[in-house]
Each structure stands twice: as structure tokens, then as C-alpha cells.
């Protein structure tokens, strides 16, 4: 499979996709534990309003806030988690998405859909669980965490997270260690507009699916070691005509204390069906003092056929992932990013800057096409705050500077979430 084809499948709607804008100091990896199911049924939910506008690198008549350049959604998500007794449980999630008529004169598209209609609904979670003191089984539609599944996880940048169909087993029998096994069959890929239909669960690798095992250890105080391995049988090429297996090995080591976090990551995407396997590496160091925090990160991905990706979304697991840079850092690229934040005015202000050099890019010139390096730069400004106990607000500005374009691309994003 050609690099460009595979990347286009796993990274649809890249320029319009969003990013993880979590607080600056990199998140600590959570350890899943067997959580006792609530008595009978527990209900919760969230309501979201989401708006984004973009000027598309200064193209003629493409301006911020124009209807043709704007997207919006309003949505509601309802959750039910039940205790069925004897160690069994169940969970369901109903997601509704629409625009409240904004598509008539304010926006032209939506960020997400929940079916074939602008106003529609989807069952985005439906699973059964069974648990003992140290083992949990989960089967059905569910979210997957990035901390334990770096190439198939539920991305949180859009209106709602994407989900997967499959089976998951988590075991904590070994002291300070979490062992995870998963089989993932389908995903409702997280993109934008037609690239993000939460009611459309597509097979990842035919009926074979993809298998994953992960081990995470915290035996040393402050140190988290994580390793994951994926295998997709006959995933590269035509299934019935000599297709080859795809395998992914990925590992990370992160150390943190009250003021410092440092991490390294790396791995490879491999197949006999590739002309060249992909190898990637990353490192970061972050710190915080009182109300201030800062982070510096680096990543390097070689010119292998596949790059790095999320099979259910558009993001990368790289430390240098920003709001919109995934298409530029995922393959044959070197990236440096810096990030800083300050807590003020009842919330958090975040600023980040990334600089990427892409290699072997086909560029148009006055004398025809050439293959050369291309520089990409991105600046993100984000403000996030809570209003009361249940409401979170976000405003973000993104500026993209791509060498192949004469003008930069500007993006504004606003959303509000109310949890109940």
C-alpha cells in the first residue's frame, strides 16, 4: 500500500480536524482498575454547543465567519450504566446531533453527524461487562484510552468522542502492573462532517479485526513504563490475493514528580507488504511552578510506507501533536514543539508553537514539480475555563503556515459543555 493512500484512509479531513488541548504538563497515564458497578442504574450525560470557522489559506471569498467556511453542532449525550448482579454489568450511550437550524444561514456544514441526516441520533456505546477482583471483561461498543491503546483510541477534540466495537480484557493480578488485551473490529472514525458519522461503524480489517496487547508497569515510584503490540492479519494488500500482516510495536517511558515530567516514546509499523517499514521516536520534558507550566517536545518519523496514525481517528500518538498538525508530522518529518500555560482569570491560557520539516514532498514551482523539504509552522492559542461545577468553555485560535501556500490558514473554535 502506498504511503499516501494509507495516510488518507486513517487521516481524513485532516486540515479541519481538531486536537487535544489538554493542560500543558503531559497527562499522567491512568491505571484502569476494576470499578464496582453502581447500584442498579446510574444515569449521566452532557450537552454541547460547538462552532468552528476557517479561512482556507486566504482563498478568494473564503473569510472567517462566512457561512461557507463555518461548521457547527449542538448535541446531547445520555449515558446509562447498570449493575446486573453476579459480577455482570451493562452500559449504553445515546448520542444526538444537530444544528438547531444554523445550517440555514450561519454555517454550511457540521463537525459531526449521528446518521444520514443533519439532525439524527446514534447508539455510540452498548456493552456488557463482567468483573472479578482483578479482572474485567468488556464486550461491545466502547471507548478506548490513548494511554493503553496508542494506535486505536477515542479522540476527544470533536463534539463527542469516537467509539469502537470489540472486546477488552484488563487484568491487575501482577503488582503495580496492568495487562490489557483487546480485539477491535469496527470504528466510527472521528473526522469532520462526512468523515465523522458516529452511526457508521466501519470494519478496520474486514472480519479479522485487529488484536492488541499492552503491559503497563509502575513499580518504580514516579516511573510509568508502557508497551503495546498490534497485529492485523492480512491487512496490507488484497485479502484473497497475497495480503500481508500488519504489526505495530510501540513503547513509552515517562517519569514524573510534583514539578517535572520527562518521557520518551518510539516504535515501528511493519509489514512484508511494505516497501519500507515506518520507525518513529519522540521525547519531551515538562515542568510547572505554581501557576506556570512549560513543555518542549521532539518527534521524528522516517519515510516508511505507513507513518503513525489512529485507526479510529485522525491524530497521532506523538508528543508533538498539536491542534491541526497531524498531517504534517505523521510521516517522513521532524518536529519540535514548545508549549506554555498560565492559570489566570478563572481558567487557563495555553500557547504552543510547532515547527516541522517534511521530507520528500512534491512541490509545485514555476518550472514544474520538484521533490524537496517543506516547512510547516503552527501557532495555537487556547483559553479554557469552568463556569460553576458542570460547565466548561473553550476558545481556540490556530494559525497554520505551510510553505506550499502563499497565505496562512486561520481557524477559530469555540465550544461549551454542560455535564449532568
Closest CA to 315 of 17, 48, 6, 16: 17
SS3 content of the chain, % helix, strand, coil (to 5): 5, 55, 40
Which pLDDT score is estimated for 57?
85
With cell 520518551, the residue in question is 264
Nine cell digits for residue 6 = 494509507
User: Residues with Cβ < 8 Å from 5, sequence gap 6 or more?
Assistant: none
Which pLDDT score is estimated for 220?
98
Strands 164-171 and 177-187: antiparallel
Inter-residue contact 164 to 142 (CB < 8 Å): yes
CATH number of 3-419: 2.40.160.10
Query: What is the spatial distance between Cα 337 and Cα 298, in angstroms, rounded to a whole number?
Result: 6
Which pLDDT score is estimated for 22?
40
Q: What is the pLDDT along the chain (420 residues), one digit of tens a residue?
A: 444 433 333 333 333 445 443 443 334 344 454 455 446 999 999 999 999 999 988 777 788 999 989 999 999 999 999 999 999 999 999 999 999 999 889 999 999 999 999 999 999 999 999 999 999 999 999 999 999 999 999 999 999 999 999 999 999 999 999 999 999 999 998 887 567 899 999 999 999 999 999 999 999 999 999 999 999 999 999 888 889 999 999 999 999 999 999 999 999 999 999 999 999 999 999 999 999 999 999 999 999 999 999 999 999 999 999 999 999 999 999 999 999 999 999 999 999 999 999 999 988 877 788 899 999 999 999 999 999 999 999 999 999 999 988 899 999 999 999 999
Inter-residue contact 325 to 358 (CB < 8 Å): no
Which pLDDT score is estimated for 368?
82
Sign of torsion over alpha carbons 203, 205, 211, 214:
negative
User: Residues with Cβ < 8 Å from 113, sequence gap 6 or more?
Assistant: 97, 120, 193, 194, 196, 197, 198, 199
Inter-residue contact 327 to 338 (CB < 8 Å): no
SS3 240: coil
Closest CA to 144 of 94, 90, 190: 190
CA distances from 49 to 109, 156, 338, 391, 394 (A): 14, 14, 30, 11, 11
User: Residues with Cβ < 8 Å from 420, sequence gap 6 or more?
Assistant: 44, 45, 46, 47, 390
Domain segments of the chain: what residues?
3-419
CA distances from 249 to 127, 151, 230, 385 (A): 28, 10, 7, 37
Which pLDDT score is estimated for 15?
38
The pTM assigned to this predicted structure is 0.88
Nine cell digits for residue 90 = 451493562
| CB atoms closer than 10 angstroms to residue 123 | 14
398 burial type by CB count under 10 A (0-12 exposed, 13-18 middle, 19+ buried): buried
CA distances from 243 to 218, 274, 410 (A): 39, 11, 42
Which pLDDT score is estimated for 364?
81
Amino acid at each position: 500500500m502506498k504511503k499516501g493512500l494509507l495516510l488518507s484512509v486513517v487521516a481524513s479531513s485532516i486540515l479541519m480536524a481538531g486536537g487535544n488541548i489538554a493542560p500543558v504538563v503531559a497527562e499522567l497515564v491512568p491505571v484502569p482498575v476494576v470499578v464496582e458497578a453502581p447500584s442498579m442504574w446510574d444515569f449521566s450525560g452532557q450537552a454541547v454547543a460547538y462552532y468552528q470557522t476557517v479561512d482556507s489559506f486566504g482563498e478568494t471569498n473564503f473569510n472567517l465567519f462566512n457561512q461557507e467556511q463555518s461548521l457547527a453542532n449542538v448535541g446531547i449525550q445520555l449515558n446509562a450504566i447498570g449493575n446486573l448482579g453476579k459480577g455482570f454489568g451493562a452500559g449504553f450511550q445515546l448520542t444526538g446531533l444537530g444544528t438547531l437550524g444554523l445550517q440555514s444561514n450561519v454555517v454550511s456544514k457540521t463537525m459531526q453527524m449521528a446518521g444520514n441526516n443533519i439532525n439524527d441520533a446514534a447508539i455510540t456505546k452498548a456493552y456488557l461487562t463482567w468483573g472479578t477482583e482483578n479482572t474485567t471483561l468488556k464486550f461491545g461498543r466502547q471507548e478506548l484510552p490513548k494511554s493503553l491503546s496508542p494506535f486505536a483510541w477515542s479522540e476527544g477534540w470533536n463534539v463527542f468522542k469516537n467509539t469502537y466495537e470489540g472486546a477488552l480484557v484488563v487484568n491487575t493480578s501482577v503488582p503495580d502492573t496492568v495487562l490489557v488485551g483487546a480485539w477491535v473490529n469496527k470504528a466510527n472514525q472521528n473526522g469532520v462532517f462526512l468523515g465523522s458519522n458516529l452511526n457508521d461503524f466501519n470494519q478496520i480489517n474486514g472480519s479479522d479485526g485487529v488484536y492488541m496487547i499492552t503491559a503497563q508497569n509502575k513499580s518504580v515510584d514516579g516511573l510509568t513504563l508502557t508497551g503495546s503490540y498490534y497485529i492485523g492479519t492480512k491487512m496490507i494488500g488484497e485479502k484473497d490475493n497475497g495480503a500481508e500482516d500488519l504489526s505495530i510495536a510501540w513503547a513509552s517511558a515517562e517519569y514524573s514528580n510534583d514539578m517535572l515530567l520527562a518521557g520518551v516514546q518510539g516504535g515501528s509499523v511493519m509489514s512484508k507488504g511494505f516497501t519500507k517499514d515506518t520507525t518513529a521516536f519522540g521525547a519531551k520534558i515538562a515542568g510547572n511552578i505554581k501557576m506556570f507550566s512549560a513543555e518542549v517536545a521532539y518527534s521524528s518519523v522516517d519515510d516508511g510506507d505507513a507513518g503513525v496514525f489512529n485507526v479510529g481517528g485522525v491524530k497521532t500518538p506523538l508528543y508533538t501533536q498539536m491542534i491541526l498538525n497531524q498531517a504534517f508530522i505523521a510521516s517522513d518529518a521532524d518536529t519540535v514543539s514548545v508549549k506554555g500555560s498560565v492559570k489566570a482569570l478563572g481558567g487557563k491560557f495555553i500557547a504552543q508553537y510547532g515547527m516541522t520539516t517534511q521530507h520528500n514532498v512534491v512541490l509545485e514551482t514555476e518550472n514544474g514539480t520538484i521533490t524537496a523539504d517543506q516547512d510547516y509552522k503552527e501557532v495555537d492559542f487556547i483559553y479554557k475555563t469552568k463556569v460553576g461545577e458542570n460547565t466548561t468553555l473553550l476558545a481556540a485560535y490556530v494559525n497554520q503556515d505551510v510553505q506550499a501556500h502563499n497565505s496562512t490558514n486561520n481557524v477559530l473554535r469555540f465550544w461549551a459543555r454542560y455535564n449532568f
